[in-house]
Structure 1
Amino acid sequence: MSKQSAIAPHESIEVHELLTFKNICLTKSTTAAKLVSDSELKTILQNDVSTTKRQIQELKEIMERSCNVK
């Protein structure tokens, strides 16, 4: 195992918990963005959705790299 790519089992659990939390945040922000009428708040929520999607992708990549390490 490469020390740079591998993560410890407890770190894997932490990343999974972060992914779960970020998915909940994404759901809430996406739903709220559709319901709000204030344009400034809608923009903030849409920016949050974009940022959260990027963060989820980064966390998924960490998990994939750690699972594919030989």
Structure 2
Amino acid sequence: MKRTLGLYELHELITFKSLCLTKSATMSGLAQDLDLQTILLDDTKNGHEHIQRLKEFLTYTGEQS
């Protein structure tokens, strides 16, 4: 059985990822340890990419060209 996300679940996931992105971006500026800063900056970059990918599902019409 294939399970798909509804718009509500997709919106909740984007909201959660946005919160994580904000927290990582904020903490990367406050972190004094360089390794931790690197991890947080990588997480920020990845989080931004994940959000962009999730937003594509909001505009996907199901049609293939």
Is the TM-score greater than 0.5? yes
- Give 3-state SS (helix, strand or coil) of 2:6's partner: helix
Cα RMSD (Å): 1.6
Aligned mates of 2:29, 2:59 — CA distance in 1: 32
Alignment match, 1:23: 18
Aligned mates of 2:35, 2:9 — CA distance in 1: 33
What's the TM-score once normalised by structure 2's chain length?
Answer: 0.84
Alpha-carbon shift at residue 25 of structure 1 (Å): 0.4
Unmatched 5+ residue regions in structure 1?
A: 1-7
Aligned mates of 1:11, 1:40 — CA distance in 2: 38
- Give 3-state SS (helix, strand or coil) of 1:37's partner: coil
Alignment match, 1:33: 28
What's the TM-score once normalised by structure 1's chain length?
Answer: 0.78
Alpha-carbon shift at residue 41 of structure 1 (Å): 0.3
Q: Can you list the C-alpha shifts for 1:9-52, whole angstroms capped at 9, x where unaligned?
A: x6111110000000100100000000001000000000000110
Spell out structure 1 runs of 4+ moving beyond 2 A.
none
Query: Relative contact order (alpha carbons < 8 A, sep ≥ 6): 1 or 2 greater?
Result: 1
Unmatched 5+ residue regions in structure 2?
A: none
